[in-house]
């Protein structure tokens, strides 16, 4: 199996999700290659070797500075054709999903998405995808090559293997239609601390907070713990907190070491986005809340009293 992993970059760093997919690909056996396409990414190629890439193709060009999919489709199509790759893996993000879909259309290839595992079975690649609101898992495969796979965000953690990669520069040759779209502006949400995808501690809030201003309680606790604040779909739909912080089936999948769920009932749609967390602590005044069924630690009580006391205790312990 000749595998190529698309490595996405953001603000001068390789994205954690794509590095996790690279680590998983390396664990499946055989040598794995990776491709980085962007502007100012030459130094990133060597980093991929530490996560299992034997070879890294680097496409460096100012035209790739904007996170647009079609130019990257051109780069990948050329690398796949020249290198004879039969499997291409992506870590899910807005950009990589567009790139994967565009590449599938360009090559007439099959794309399986939202995968939560990959394995080799009798020499064939098999993916696992959640179904029926993540209550069951189904095996999926491909009928042709190249096989394209989009892995759910947060599924695999990057694992350093200490290797070194051969870096090869790739000439950027773009189709005329791939340069028609131009990015005129990039907006960044102002935030402090780590993103929910990278945070080792997440403090999440739901409708049980009562009102949007109460998220200040969670922000203080997250700051004390060095973590990030997340929210449920109901909360972000109501305009209480930004969509970028949504965890769940229609939001982001996270896997922190500690997940504090405050005022969250624990519907299946939210569970699927955080069930891979190391330790789940739930605070809810309803003793029958579904979240207690899968929480490691459950606290029945008023979060408006418990969270401030917990914040104070954390600050005392940390000095």
Q: Which of 133, 123, 5, 114 is nearest to 57 (CA)?
A: 5
In this structure, the strands spanning 258-262 and 279-284 are: parallel
Is residue 105 within 8 Å of residue 26, measured between CB atoms? no
Say if pTM beats, i.e. exceeds, 0.95. Answer: no
User: According to the model, what pLDDT value does residue 316 have?
Assistant: 92
Q: What is the DSSP string of 219-256?
A: HHHHHHHT-EEEE-HHHHHTTSS-GGGBBSTTSB----
Domains and CATH numbers, the chain: 3-179 (3.40.50.620), 201-318 (3.40.50.1220)
Looking up tokens 């996790």 gives 20
Nearest to 232 by CA among 218, 153, 154, 116: 218
Distance separating alpha carbons of residues 30 and 26, to the nearest angstrom: 7
Task: Give the pair of three-digit tokens for residue 160.
Answer: 């350093």
What pLDDT, on the 0 to 100 scale, is given for residue 189?
A: 59
- One digit per residue, the tens of pLDDT, for the chain of length 319 reads 899 999 999 888 899 889 999 999 999 988 899 999 999 898 888 889 899 999 999 999 999 999 999 999 999 999 999 999 999 999 988 899 999 999 999 999 999 998 999 999 988 999 999 888 777 889 999 999 999 999 988 788 899 887 888 999 999 999 999 988 888 887 665 556 678 888 999 999 999 999 999 999 999 999 999 999 999 999 999 999 998 899 987 788 888 999 999 999 998 889 888 988 999 999 999 999 999 999 999 999 999 999 999 999 999 998 7
Handedness of CA 211, 214, 216, 222 (dihedral sign): negative
Beta bridge partners of 37: 59
pLDDT at 268: 85
Cα separation, 248 vs 200, in Å, equals 17
């Amino acid at each position: 199996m000749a595998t190529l992993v698309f490595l996405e970059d953001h603000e001068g760093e390789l994205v954690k999700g794509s590095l996790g997919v690279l680590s998983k690909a390396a664990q499946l056996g055989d040598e794995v290659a990776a491709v980085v396409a962007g502007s100012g990414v030459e130094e990133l190629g060597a980093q991929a070797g530490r996560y299992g890439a034997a070879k890294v193709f680097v496409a460096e060009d100012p035209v790739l500075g904007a996170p647009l999919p079609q130019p990257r489709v051109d780069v990948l199509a050329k690398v796949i054709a020249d290198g004879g790759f039969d499997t291409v893996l992506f870590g899910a993000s807005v950009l990589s999903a567009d790139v994967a879909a565009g590449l599938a259309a360009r090559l007439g290839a099959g794309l399986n998405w939202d995968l939560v595992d990959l394995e080799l079975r009798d020499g064939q690649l098999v993916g696992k995808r959640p179904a029926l609101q993540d209550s069951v898992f189904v095996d999926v495969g491909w009928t042709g090559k190249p096989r394209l796979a989009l892995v759910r965000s947060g599924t695999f953690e990057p694992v350093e293997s200490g290797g070194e990669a051969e870096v090869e520069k790739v000439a950027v040759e773009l189709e005329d239609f791939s340069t028609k779209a131009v990015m005129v502006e990039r907006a960044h949400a102002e935030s402090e601390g780590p993103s929910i995808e990278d945070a080792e501690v997440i403090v999440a809030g739901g409708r049980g907070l009562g009102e949007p201003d109460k998220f200040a309680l969670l922000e203080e606790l997250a700051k004390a713990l060095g973590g990030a604040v997340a929210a449920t779909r109901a909360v972000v739909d109501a305009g209480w907190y930004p969509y970028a912080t949504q965890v769940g089936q229609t939001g982001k999948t996270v896997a922190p070491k500690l997940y504090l769920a405050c005022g969250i009932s624990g519907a299946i749609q939210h569970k699927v986005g955080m069930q891979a967390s190391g330790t789940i602590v739930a605070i809810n005044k309803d003793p029958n809340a579904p979240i207690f069924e899968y929480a490691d630690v459950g606290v029945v009580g008023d979060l408006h009293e418990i969270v401030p006391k917990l914040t104070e205790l954390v600050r005392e312990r940390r000095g």
